[in-house]
Structure 1
Amino acid sequence: MDDGISTGRLLVATPQLADPNFRRSVVLIVEHEPEGGTLGVVLNRPTQVPVDQILPPWSELVTGPSVVFQGGPVALDSALALAQVPGTDEPLGWRALNGSPAVARVGLVDLDVPPEILAPEVARLRVFAGYAGWGTGQLQSEIDEGAWYVLSAESGDVFAEDPDGLWPAVLRRQGGELAFVATFPEDPSLN
């Protein structure tokens, strides 16, 4: 575990984090400016809303489950998308996340670009409603208080086929104490 907040890293909620917006969440940091704050998307909050109800032109490119994910509590009426593209080119309408090599070739999609322009370039795509945001120093303060683990991402995390199992899976692969945390009950009073 490393407290190095940077683009492409994961914020994994500790069991102590009781905020319902982030309980057992796994957040991918998509932008981090030490003097300007941090922006991320929650990777493990699929909704029941199909992408074709919100962004019909993009629905054919979406990696299953083909629903909109709740990216966080901020700006729920806006959408952003992440896509993985093969190769080394930077296609029009796609901006790479600078950060962890494990999420190489994952980037933000400009949803105003016609999807047919990006379609041949996209290997996987996921749409998020809203995002998570922290002001300067706020996230570090939450980490210091024990709310978050800052961990390395793996390429499959962003497009996990089983998003509901992502929180324990990320913790288990860390080994040691964090693997044990993965078994922490949802409601400790029932233990």
Structure 2
Amino acid sequence: MDYKSLLFNIDIPSGHMPAPGALLVSEPFLHEEYFNHAVIALVEYEPNGGAMGVVLNNVSDYSLQDLVEGVTVKEPIPVYCGGPMAADRLFFIHTLGDIIPGTQPLGNGLWIGGEFDPMLSIINDRYELEGNIRFFLGYSGWSDGQLEEELSRNVWAVSPMSGSGHELLKGDGDAYWHRAVRSLGTDFRGWLYHPQNPMVN
């Protein structure tokens, strides 16, 4: 599938089937390395087919300066771990719209991808990145029917993108997951009482 051929402006009520532009919020006992207390933005979804997304809140040990030549900003720019697949490939989500050639709408004022040279110029002009631009190594993927099977086991809660795109690109880690769970409503309140690391409970 080619995400550039898709439109992503779809609102999905919590508990409904996923679609491009929705969020997947991991259940609290999912302790797999990449998905423990993860919030994933779905980029591609085909019912009973494959799916692709990026984990929004899992910051990696890399900075953009480690991975890309030509970044003149001195302060380290964080790179997030988008998932276990294609871990040598860089993705970016942003609020800049189509001033980045080749970008595609993701919903709620967010856009994905596009030409990197214009993005690099914006970075080097010291544009505010927090809440506007986020970089990811790798992505999360599901084979045909796999995501539906996981949803049937309540591995994920499906949520529309709530709040502004700027808010979705702020924060990280466990606090980000807690914020996403609170947005799911009272039915998911019990999830909030399970720590990311059960050994600290």
- Common topology (TM > 0.5): yes
TM range (shorter): 0.7 to 0.9
Does the 8 A contact of 1:92 with 1:117 survive in 2? no
Does the 8 A contact of 1:84 with 1:106 survive in 2? yes
- Distance in 2, matches of 1:21 and 1:143, equals 17
- Aligned match of 2:26 in 6, 13, 16? 13
Q: How far 1:164 moved relative to its partner?
A: 3.9
- Distance in 1, matches of 2:133 and 2:71, equals 9
Read off the aligned partner of 2:178 and give its amino acid letter. P
- Distance in 2, matches of 1:156 and 1:35, equals 31
**Structure 2 CA distance for partners of 1:115 and 1:138, relative to 1, 3 Å:** same
Residue 92 of structure 1: aligned partner: 101
Does the 8 A contact of 2:88 with 2:137 survive in 1? yes
- Aligned match of 2:44 in 27, 31, 44? 31
Read off the aligned partner of 2:42 and give its amino acid letter. I
Indicate whether 1:139 and 2:147 are aligned.
Answer: yes
Any unmatched runs of 5+ in structure 2?
A: 1-13
Larger strand share, 1 or 2: 1
Does the 8 A contact of 2:85 with 2:139 survive in 1? yes
Residues 1-191 of structure 1 mapped to structure 2, 5 A cutoff: 1-34=14-47, 36-57=49-70, 66-85=77-96, 91-97=100-106, 103-115=107-119, 124-154=132-162, 155-188=165-198, 191=201
Does the 8 A contact of 2:100 with 2:118 survive in 1? no
Q: How far 1:114 moved relative to its partner?
A: 4.2
- Distance in 1, matches of 2:78 and 2:187, equals 33
- Distance in 1, matches of 2:199 and 2:135, equals 35
Does the 8 A contact of 2:19 with 2:45 survive in 1? yes
Partner of 2:168, secondary structure, is coil
- Distance in 2, matches of 1:57 and 1:149, equals 40
With the length of structure 1 as denominator, give the TM-score of the two structures. 0.80
Name the Cα RMSD after superposition.
Answer: 2.9
With the length of structure 2 as denominator, give the TM-score of the two structures. 0.76
Q: How far 1:147 moved relative to its partner?
A: 0.7
Partner of 1:182, secondary structure, is helix
Residue 100 of structure 1: aligned partner: none
Aligned residues: 181
Does the 8 A contact of 2:58 with 2:172 survive in 1? no
Q: How far 1:128 moved relative to its partner?
A: 0.4
Q: How far 1:14 moved relative to its partner?
A: 0.3
Identity fraction in percent = 28
Does the 8 A contact of 1:77 with 1:129 survive in 2? yes
- Distance in 2, matches of 1:14 and 1:126, equals 24
**Structure 2 CA distance for partners of 1:157 and 1:33, relative to 1, 3 Å:** farther
Partner of 1:166, secondary structure, is helix
- Distance in 1, matches of 2:171 and 2:72, equals 16
